[in-house]
Amino acid sequence: MDLKDARIIVTGAASGLGRTFATEFSRAGAAVFGFDLNEEGLKSLKEEEGIDYYVGSVASEEDAVAAVKAAIASMGSVNGLVNNAGIFRDALLVRKDRKTGELTPMSMEQWQTVIDVNLTGTFLCAREVATHMIDEGHPGVIVNISSCSRHGNRGQSNYSATKAGVVAMAKLWGEELARYKIRVGAVAPGFADTPILQGMRPEMLEKMLAQVPLRRAADPVEIFQAVKFIFECDYFTGRCVDVDGGISM
């Protein structure tokens, strides 16, 4: 796909990797539409880059439907989607206090909230965008943002499950949608230099990055390069690109 012909929805566009994706696609000539709960972040994105947006939750079917309709109204049509919105609520499956012996299991709220946003939100947005692209009869691209944690990371049963799930869905959708000339891929970042990492204690960050063979976090633009590759390479579908500095989990 030529990015100058692209009309892309980016979920989670208000901050972090999503903001980088939205900004870089726009600067490359694509029309971009943001979808996020963070209205303040979306407003500043529009002020800085002229990117229109919809404020809502990807986990809400009503919001997902409305966001895609708003994007179509804003850009004329949609032929691209980056499913980037995601959250984490880290906890061990069951934690035992070393002093008291008290057991604290992961709560249903911790489990379900992450499933709703990361997995169901990805499904809802892809469903609505794919329906539009098939109805319009034009090619398109969907990219799901996964994580190196998809292989399983201690304390992230909920998050790891969702990030494995979005890769599985990319593979299946790549097969199901190929007949409509819709390609689907996934990108699995490692640690990226976003506000989350920037807010960590230096000693904790140093310990974490010591696990990475390259000994550093990714620049968000380096993650964008993988997303851009999937959009531009017309022979890519149903696979995941790892951009994690070589880390093993």
Q: What are the structural domains of the chain?
A: 3-239 (3.40.50.720)
pLDDT at 45 over 90: yes
Of 53, 159, 180, 235, the active-site residue reads 159
Q: Which residue has the tokens 């140093």?
A: 206
* pLDDT over 80 (residue 196): no
249, pLDDT greater than 90? no
Q: Reduced to 3 states, what is the DSSP secondary structure of residue 248?
A: coil
Does the pLDDT value for residue 200 go beyond 80? no
Least confident of 17-31, 99-113, 180-194, 198-212: 198-212
7-11 vs 52-55, strand pairing mode: unpaired
Run of H or E including 141: strand 140-145
Q: What is the rounded CA–CA span in Å between residue 198 and residue 133? A: 38
Residue 40, burial from CB neighbour count under 10 angstroms (0-12, 13-18, 19+): exposed
What percent of the chain shows pLDDT beyond 90? 82
pLDDT confidence bin for 49, thresholds 50/70/90: very high
54 is catalytic: no
pLDDT band at 189 (very low <50, low <70, confident <90, very high): very high
Q: Is the pLDDT of residue 7 over 90?
A: yes
The b-or-e profile of 45-58 (16+ CB within 10 A means b, else e) is beeebebbbbbbbb
